[in-house]
Structure 1
């Protein structure tokens, strides 16, 4: 009889212990879940050596449209919350330069323009600019409707001087860092 009571108490204790470790399941947790990864990537890279700038007949030594549908891809366009496009312009040439980077839609309309007035080197001139989109920044529609990026560069200096810096060139780089909503 004592063994039966001991066995019954052990079973009862095990059941009470198991019951105290079980929580009610909340299947609505998914609705409260926010998944917002940050993606980052390169957008543009262009460089022009000083000898190319000197050989140009017109002051506008560079003009190119680059097809860019990355922002209009449904995965990005439907999920982007906000982000920043960062530009880095470096000039080691002896030229004062004007550089324009335009976001263009399929119809050829300019949606957004970043203009850089870059002084001549030496010393090396460097311009870093961050442009926010979404939230309190520029409209996300600019990015979503962009289908091309147009880069133009104009020499405001002469076509004969050369920089004292070896391998003199102008470089334009841009990258983007964006927050997306996966859910």
Structure 2
């Protein structure tokens, strides 16, 4: 008995398959495909102990550069339409600082300077989140020419720092990039 019902139901199912609907596929829809990925990544960071900032109490400068080769990738450069940089600086040294971020090209020419004033440590939390730096249009075009990032730390006048000085100056930053692939 089971096999009789099994055969009848198989024939009915097979009949439905022959009468099912189908439509032509439109492969031209791929021309309208637009991808807009968003990528979040670390940009730069440093942690400078106070005892490495030995000075005599006057104004001094610390400088460092790093290669920044993300724009050597043509796909990335051609599809980037917006970038946002976020910076956070923590200072627990009893001195005021100015931190300048220099965006430079291959010839070490400064394309843009982003400056931050960092107040002296007063015993309470001193973590400062700065406004987001947005790169669009002309500013984005300059950013795409960047091949190096320079950091200039200006130490304001104050009590001299020495090998026994405590505290750190920390910078953390991140980038959010917006791509459009059509």
- 1:124 is displaced (CA, Å) by 2.9
TM-score by length of 1: 0.79
Instruction: Work out whether 1:126 is the aligned partner of 2:120.
Output: no
Residues in 2 aligned to 1:73 and 1:101: alpha-carbon distance in whole angstroms: 23
What's 2:167 paired with?
Answer: 168
What's 1:48 paired with?
Answer: 48
Can you give the 5+ residue segments of structure 1 that lack an aligned partner in the other structure? 1-9
Residues in 1 aligned to 2:69 and 2:121: alpha-carbon distance in whole angstroms: 35
Q: Name the SS for the 1:103 alignment partner.
A: strand
What's 1:114 paired with?
Answer: 114
Instruction: Work out whether 1:86 is the aligned partner of 2:81.
Output: no
Q: 1:14 to 1:97 in 2, by over 3 A?
A: closer
Instruction: Work out whether 1:35 is the aligned partner of 2:35.
Output: yes
What's 1:179 paired with?
Answer: 178
Give deviations 1:132-171, integer Å, cap 9, x for gaps.
1126xx6211221001111011111324369xxx951111
What's 1:3 paired with?
Answer: none
Are 1:72 and 1:143, in contact at CA under 8 Å, matched by a contact in 2? no
Are 2:105 and 2:145, in contact at CA under 8 Å, matched by a contact in 1? yes
Q: How many residues align?
A: 165
TM-score by length of 2: 0.79
What's 1:141 paired with?
Answer: 141
Are 1:72 and 1:146, in contact at CA under 8 Å, matched by a contact in 2? no
